[in-house]
Chain A
Amino acid sequence: MNAGCKPCMDSERQKLLQEISKIDFVLKDLNLYLDTHPYDQQGMENFRQYNALKNKLVKDYTEKYGPLVLSCVDMDIREWKWAIQDWPWEGGYN
Chain B
Amino acid sequence: MWNYEKRLQYPVKITQTNPQIAQVIISQYGGPDGELAASMRYLAQRYTMPYNSVAGVLTDIGTEELAHFEMICAIVYQLTRNLTPEEIKESGFDKYYVDHTLALWPQAAGGIPFNACEFQSKGDVITDLTEDMAADATN
Chain A residues at the B interface, C-beta cutoff of 8 Å: 1-5, 8, 17-18, 20-21, 24-25, 28, 31-32, 35-36, 38, 67-71, 82, 85, 87-89, 91, 93-94
Contacts and interface: CB of A to CB of B under 8 A. Distances in A.
25 contacts: A4-B14, A4-B17, A5-B12, A5-B14, A18-B11, A21-B10, A21-B11, A24-B5, A24-B9, A25-B9, A32-B60, A35-B53, A35-B56, A36-B53, A67-B6, A69-B5, A70-B3, A70-B4, A85-B6, A89-B8, A89-B12, A89-B77, A91-B14, A94-B7, A94-B11
Contacts of B8: 21, 88-89, 94
B83 interface: yes
Interface residues of B, number: 31
Interface of B: 3-17, 53-54, 56-57, 60-61, 64, 70, 73-74, 77-79, 81-83
